[in-house]
Chains A and B, each alone.
Chain A
Amino acid sequence: MTALDQNLIGGDFKIDALSISFGGLKAVNQFSLHLKPMELQGLIGPNGAGKTTCFNLVTGVYQPDSGTMVLNGRSLVGLEPHEIAKAGIARTFQNIRLFGDLTVLENVMVSYHMNVDYGYFELFLRTPRYYRIEKEFRDKATELLKVMGLETRKEDKAKSLPYGDQRRLEIARALATHPKVLLLDEPAAGLNTQEKAALMGTIANIRNLFKTTILLIEHDMKLVMGICEKITVLDHGDIIAVGTPREIQDNPKVIEAYLGVG
């Protein structure tokens, strides 16, 4: 298996009526979303709308008060975050969370650990299988870094990368888990206009290259319009609109939420 051929069709992910409150605050209320295989959908909304909280619910960082989520027929509610990752959901973080003191290559290789099939004794004795698997991981990671345009930095510490490369490494690391569904939390935040456009191009490519379903959080409505088939809009924890980019653009509720009226 190479870094690229992983799933045949991407994941089918049904989220139904997920809710969570923090104290009195309903951070996410009755959130539902259906991601069909290989779809690229957008999740947008103003500051504090609950977008990141949705990702935290879906990846098991928070347990929902109620609601269901089913990936390719398997329920994910109640699983630990690492089990959800193994089930095929990967994510990036809005506030970058790389393994700063590890190299770029090692950052990606951590994601392959779930497939490791040598044991402790084999690593102490360095058996042929240890060498073979380490080489396989290294080669796969290098290939993946090439796709993300990071292979020249692969021996550098992750924390030494420029900001834009760190965002790309977050995506590379998530892709290395062989996700059926990839969740991207404001991957373009902090980039300049040019970098943003380039990154959106990369994301559109990733879907075809890695055959994965993608849900993209973005603050800037215009950015997602170009590449998403369908967009869900959150405001104060509620879904206020769902539709094609065109429908969303003209929706008065969305305009109101973004302009902060009412």
Chain B
Amino acid sequence: MKLVQWVTIIVSVGILTGINYLLEENINPYVIRVVVNCGIGMILAMSLNLVNGCAGQFSLGHAGFMGVGAYTSAAITTVLALSPFFKTDMGVGCAIVIGGLAAALAGYLVGLPSLRLKGDYLAIVTLGFGEIIRIIFLNIEEVGGARGLPGIPPKANFFWVYLWVVITFVALLRLLRSSYGRAILSVRENEIAAESMGINVARYKVVAFVISSFFAGIAGGLFAHFQSFIDPNSFVFNKSVEAVIMVVIGGMGSLSGAILGGIIVTVLPELLRIFEQYRMVIFPLILIVLMLVRPMGLLGHKEIWELFRKKASS
């Protein structure tokens, strides 16, 4: 890695630590909660964007993979209690990564057979898998079954969540700006042409799905260790729909769009609390209007900095 990159890493860790300190000292817990949930939403949206936006597949079971990450990491830091190490910051960090890997494995097992399907069929099958995963957790008594799993060490604070936001963003951006990324995008653009140019379409659909599931699992692990309690209802179908909404309103295929989507879908319902019981009428109305005005999402296929560059040059 170049010196610039090292400097960037050190500076961003410094900034995150600083904000983390300020938040924890001075800001009320409700705001912290919303800000952290935004971060988790961003990771979820960026990861789903790889499948739904970049590879052009329609997955509707993302909450399932988030659940795998959450339950795996939480099981490691609570019920399994392999060693006291898993109660420390570093230990929880490792558990969350293991949760991500477990989600990636689940993504591989689900993706391999189902990615042969297209469009609506794929959406239905992934929806089904998402529900199956949830029902499996519902029936494992060791992780609390329907009662849920309490007492998870609450180690995922602003710092850790936003560190993962940065990691997810950089990793996915680099993936997309590589030959592998072009292969994934070519699948979205035209499967037959991609195959004819030597791209193993089936493989790159699975690759996108596995990488996406990994980061969804990370989001799940962070969620578990932020809430310090999870139950199967945390990962219902609605959560998958929410992730899809984030990607769609941000702009399919745009990473910065996914970040924007993650923020909007998390913050908007909070801001709408002033409308009390009408909140859940107004929120969808805003989404509908947004889709009518900008059907391609806020940023379309573009990244936010590309929008400005375009304006500057023309």
Find out whether the CB atom of B1 lies under 8 angstroms from the CB atom of A130.
no
User: How far does the Cβ of B151 sit from chain A's closest Cβ, in whole Å?
Assistant: 35
Tell me the interface secondary structure of chain B in the complex: helix
Offer 5 A-B interface pairs, CB within 8 angstroms, sorted by A. Answer: A86-B198, A98-B190, A101-B253, A114-B198, A120-B180
Find out whether the CB atom of A99 lies under 8 angstroms from the CB atom of B193.
yes
State whether A102 and B175 are in contact (beta carbons under 8 Å apart), knowing that A97-B190, A110-B197, A126-B1 are contacts in the complex: no
Find out whether the CB atom of A134 lies under 8 angstroms from the CB atom of B182.
no
Interface residues in B180-194 (C-beta closer than 8 Å to A): 180, 182-183, 185-186, 188-190, 192-194
Find out whether the CB atom of A113 lies under 8 angstroms from the CB atom of B199.
yes
Find out whether the CB atom of A82 lies under 8 angstroms from the CB atom of B190.
no
A100 contacts B by Cβ under 8 Å: yes
A106 contacts B by Cβ under 8 Å: yes
B28 contacts A by Cβ under 8 Å: no
| Cβ–Cβ < 8 Å partners of B201 in chain A | 82
- Chain A, residues 36-71, CB within 8 Å of chain B (1/0): the string is 000000000000000000000001110000000000
Q: Which of B175, B189, B196 interacts with A85 by CB under 8 Å?
A: B196
A173 contacts B by Cβ under 8 Å: yes
Q: Which of B1, B171, B189 interacts with A102 by CB under 8 Å?
A: B189
| Cβ–Cβ < 8 Å partners of A133 in chain B | 179
B301 contacts A by Cβ under 8 Å: yes
Complex Cα distance, B189 from A111, in Å, reads 14
A177 contacts B by Cβ under 8 Å: yes
Complex Cα distance, B54 from A102, in Å, reads 11
Complex Cα distance, B204 from A120, in Å, reads 13
Nearest-CB residue, chain A, relative to B5:
A126
Complex Cα distance, B193 from A98, in Å, reads 7
A116 contacts B by Cβ under 8 Å: yes
Interface residues of B (CB under 8 A from A): 1-2, 5, 171, 174-175, 178-180, 182-183, 185-186, 188-190, 192-201, 253, 301
Nearest-CB residue, chain B, relative to A86:
B198
Q: Which of A80, A97, A110 interacts with B192 by CB under 8 Å?
A: A97
Find out whether the CB atom of A116 lies under 8 angstroms from the CB atom of B180.
yes
| Cβ–Cβ < 8 Å partners of A174 in chain B | 196-197
A112 contacts B by Cβ under 8 Å: yes
Find out whether the CB atom of B179 lies under 8 angstroms from the CB atom of A173.
no
- Chain A, residues 123-153, CB within 8 Å of chain B (1/0): the string is 1111000100110010000000000000000
Find out whether the CB atom of B196 lies under 8 angstroms from the CB atom of A110.
no
Find out whether the CB atom of A101 lies under 8 angstroms from the CB atom of B180.
no
| Cβ–Cβ < 8 Å partners of B192 in chain A | 61, 81, 93, 97
Find out whether the CB atom of A123 lies under 8 angstroms from the CB atom of B189.
no
User: How far does the Cβ of B6 sit from chain A's closest Cβ, in whole Å?
Assistant: 12
User: How far does the Cβ of B84 sit from chain A's closest Cβ, in whole Å?
Assistant: 31
Interface centre among A97, A174, A176 (most CB of B within 10 A): A97
A224 contacts B by Cβ under 8 Å: no
| Cβ–Cβ < 8 Å partners of A98 in chain B | 189-190, 193
State whether A101 and B196 are in contact (beta carbons under 8 Å apart), knowing that A109-B179, A134-B178 are contacts in the complex: no
